[in-house]
Structure 1
Amino acid sequence: MKAPSIQVRYMLGMVVDATGSGMYLPLSLLYFHHVTGLPVTQVGAIMSAAAVLGLVSNPLTGLLIDRFGARAVVVGGYLLRAVGFATYPLVDGAPAMFAAVALVAFGDVSFPPSIQSFVAEIVKGPARDKMLAVQRSTRNAGLGAGGLLAGAVLTWGSDAAYHAIVLSAGAAYVCAAVIIRSIPAPGTRGAGAAPVRRGYRLVARNRPFLTLTLLNVPVAFGYMVLAVSLPVYLTQELGAPESLVGVLYAVNTVGIALLQIPVTRVVIGYRRTRATALGISLFALSFVAFAVLGAATPAQSVLLTGVFAATAVFTLGELLHGATASALVASAAPEETRGRHLAVYQLSWAIPTALAPAVLTWLLTLSVTGMWLVLTAGVAASAITMLRLEPRLPAQAVRPTPPSLQEAAPPDSPSPSRPSGPVSIGQETS
């Protein structure tokens, strides 16, 4: 029997991973509160502290990717999280909880840069955009399926139900590790390969890539709006029912699951920088719409229509930005130091994600309209700067050449999408 293709195995791994994550993520706080009796506030503080500690391993992740290959780090991260989940039923207090959660946090931190590097190793050109689009779609579906499974298990209403969920999530990570390990990874650096020297100095000298990283910081804060700011804004400022929050979240997640692939197919022929900037601009438009709804105090029917429209615009922005920006960043990182570059880029997601609850709620208490305007200004500046940065990024990152043209072109021929010239530090050499 013919073995499944690389793409099929990869997507199967992502579905298994996302299903396990979807089972646990909605009840991460409730799990330890239920089984240990610790207050929810203390559980939240311990989880946040462990997440911050996990960020310490981010530079090490980049070095390991460049030394041993992305696949090894992806598999290792899965197994580390599986071991962490296996210890959860043994937790009986705050110290044990911190140790178990920290173990999982180290595995969590390793995932984004290693999985992006792995995709960059196994697919190139426009196929990279397509695979990342399918990944986003299938992961959203898997997260939703996992949440439904967790809800069904929790109907038992016992400690055994909670333990079954975390152990099932751990088992899912083991299965995902086995699937990813079965995928051949051509071009990875073997254990005996000579490592690229100078640590992170090569990344520090790659100014276009560092700029690309900094531009993502306000965008990452924008992504957190749906989970942090919008629920409070809708219920406390606009007087909307709490049930609306869940409906809007469903609109966003289902929209991504259903539309990510067709949207990416539409934009795949355009420059990645332009599609990314357009997606960011739609974030700005949605934030302005939310601000206007708060300032105008419209009738209830108009309010609901406006909220759904603004959420739809936000979702469209995410569809344009998500997979395309990931492909842009992975392609802008030089192959020999891709792990380190993507580890640095991951900080532009991890730090805003950690700070967003405090920063966004603080802005919300200062001025409701002001919060939306600050977010609008930040993402608008990122979109404009992204367009100005375009000429300084590698040609193959901005507009990838199809693999057929790459194979047909002579080694010294210039890229058909950009004029020939000196190769920048950020030039992808694959």
Structure 2
Amino acid sequence: MPRSEPLPRTVRLLLLARVVNRLGAFSLPFLTALISTDHAASLTTAGLVSAAFGLATIPSRLAGGHLADRIGRRTTIILGLCGCAAAQLAIAASASLTWAVAGAVLLGLAFELYEPPSQAIIGESVPERQRVRAFSLFSAALAAGGMGAGLLAALLGRWDLRWLFVTDAATCLVCALVIRLALPRDHPAPPGADQHDSTVRPLRDRALLSVLATGTAYALISQQTVITLPLALTRQNLPAADAGLLFTAAAATTVLAQPLIRLPWVTRLSTPVALALAHLLLAAGLTGYALSRTLPALLASAAVESLGDLLVIGRVYALVTDLAPPGASGRYLAVFGTSWGIAATLAPVLGTQLLAHAGTTALWSAMAAFCLLLAALHLRVTPESARSPQRRTPEERRSTEPVAVRDL
């Protein structure tokens, strides 16, 4: 296997900061459990509160892309992290369901602010040939923090679910401090400085809309294992906190399996084929959830599912970055990122209703079947290559160098 080129310093610092943040980012999967247990809410009410959070993340993601262009990427990232910390503390201190709902909505409004600027830094700081690897490493960095996060969740969750939100808030603030001290201040261009700015309309790009549609479907499935898994475990007479162990197994697989994406036969796969294979692995893992009744079997299923996630993340974000015109990757990534907000809105309602009326086996079986459908769909609608020569501007055809890291 050939030696990989080192990633730029800016990207490496960003990866380190997100590991710190991810170490405490384990509270969201337990939001529905907290509302159900501490505030005596019904399963349907808990699902609706989580849906409100998801709905709030949609304008949050779009605002993140806009603010990154207007006030700078570093400032936007810090603003989002501090907002998340304030909302997490509000949820932890909530004395009533009303305050918990308000905290969940505030968390949604801040939750996605830092994603578009973070992803734009990565996508524009490395050459095209390294983008799949860079985004995969970003996913692995989050997973590395997630391994510790899952263990802390399993420990603190048995004590008091509110401490999950307090710890999450603390790591958000630490991450914001690391970003403030480690990343150089960027200087966004003034409005109107880019002559192409007014012609960039991501929602009119048919290729992006196709990727957005399949990405939303993938996110809907992924959110079930984030939001619904703790509740599903309780239906199987297992502790909800055991979800932390499953998250740890998935995270460990994502980190340890990183060399797989650099295997020659994997790198030679076209984007549609790679995404189809990924969804077959997801279907296998979800089928395991449907059939498993013991913790070891569930851990194995989580590991298989995470292999599918590993193949999806690097490919799809590299694809969206390549589809974007020069200087517009932040807005393209922001629009694509709304897929997670849409999914986070729909997933709690869909998951809680399936659990309440059909049970855990039906929930995971339906998600596995959905993955099989998506695998077939990718072979038909996903672009064969990330960026065809026809989509490149004359300037891009003359040069494929990445954006200068010194400007970030």
Counterpart of 1:423? none
Separation (CA, whole Å) in 1 of partners of 2:223 and 2:154: 24
Counterpart of 2:387? 394
Separation (CA, whole Å) in 1 of partners of 2:57 and 2:251: 27
C-alpha deviation, 1:108, in angstroms:
0.8
1:252 is matched with which residue: 246, 250, 253? 250
Shift of the 226–173 alpha-carbon distance from structure 1 to 2, 3 Å rule, reads: closer
C-alpha deviation, 1:204, in angstroms:
2.4
Q: Say if 2:23 is the partner of 1:19.
A: yes
Shift of the 150–312 alpha-carbon distance from structure 1 to 2, 3 Å rule, reads: closer
Counterpart of 1:265? 262
For the pair shown, the structure with the greater C-alpha radius of gyration is 1
Counterpart of 2:174? 175
Counterpart of 1:385? 380
2:88 is matched with which residue: 81, 85, 89? 85
Q: Say if 2:217 is the partner of 1:223.
A: no
The secondary structure found in structure 1 opposite 2:328 is helix
Separation (CA, whole Å) in 2 of partners of 1:429 and 1:7: 13
1:66, 1:337 within 8 Å by CA — same for their partners in 2?
no
C-alpha deviation, 1:32, in angstroms:
6.2
Aligned-partner residue type, residue 19 of structure 1: L
Counterpart of 1:314? 305
Shift of the 235–151 alpha-carbon distance from structure 1 to 2, 3 Å rule, reads: closer
Q: Say if 2:115 is the partner of 1:112.
A: yes
Separation (CA, whole Å) in 2 of partners of 1:252 and 1:116: 22
Separation (CA, whole Å) in 2 of partners of 1:94 and 1:230: 22
2:143, 2:254 within 8 Å by CA — same for their partners in 1?
yes
Separation (CA, whole Å) in 1 of partners of 2:57 and 2:295: 40
1:77, 1:107 within 8 Å by CA — same for their partners in 2?
yes
Provide the aligned C-alpha RMSD in A. Answer: 4.4
1:278, 1:317 within 8 Å by CA — same for their partners in 2?
yes
Name which structure has the greater RCO, CA cutoff 8 Å, separation 6+: 2
C-alpha deviation, 1:343, in angstroms:
1.9
Counterpart of 1:39? 40
C-alpha deviation, 1:14, in angstroms:
0.9
Aligned-partner residue type, residue 20 of structure 2: V
Separation (CA, whole Å) in 1 of partners of 2:57 and 2:117: 15
The secondary structure found in structure 1 opposite 2:117 is helix
Separation (CA, whole Å) in 1 of partners of 2:369 and 2:212: 19
Separation (CA, whole Å) in 1 of partners of 2:51 and 2:276: 31
Deviation track 1:312-340 (CA, whole Å, cap 9, x = no partner) reads: 54332222222222222223222322222
Counterpart of 1:297? none
The secondary structure found in structure 1 opposite 2:189 is coil
Shift of the 44–269 alpha-carbon distance from structure 1 to 2, 3 Å rule, reads: same
Counterpart of 1:65? 68
2:29, 2:227 within 8 Å by CA — same for their partners in 1?
no
Aligned-partner residue type, residue 169 of structure 1: D
2:77 is matched with which residue: 74, 79, 93? 74
C-alpha deviation, 1:373, in angstroms:
6.9
Greater Cα offset, 63-72 or 363-372: 363-372
Q: Say if 2:140 is the partner of 1:140.
A: no
For structure 2, the 5+ residue unaligned runs are 1-7
Greater Cα offset, 371-380 or 101-110: 371-380
Separation (CA, whole Å) in 1 of partners of 2:225 and 2:102: 30
2:11, 2:121 within 8 Å by CA — same for their partners in 1?
no
Separation (CA, whole Å) in 2 of partners of 1:263 and 1:412: 31
Counterpart of 2:206? 207
For structure 1, the 5+ residue unaligned runs are 295-299, 399-409, 416-427
C-alpha deviation, 1:29, in angstroms:
4.6
1:216, 1:348 within 8 Å by CA — same for their partners in 2?
yes
Deviation track 1:27-79 (CA, whole Å, cap 9, x = no partner) reads: 44555677xx5224356544432432342344333322333443332222112
1:129, 1:323 within 8 Å by CA — same for their partners in 2?
yes
Counterpart of 1:331? 322
2:280, 2:372 within 8 Å by CA — same for their partners in 1?
no
Aligned-partner residue type, residue 149 of structure 2: G
Deviation track 1:324-362 (CA, whole Å, cap 9, x = no partner) reads: 222222232223222222222112222123212433565
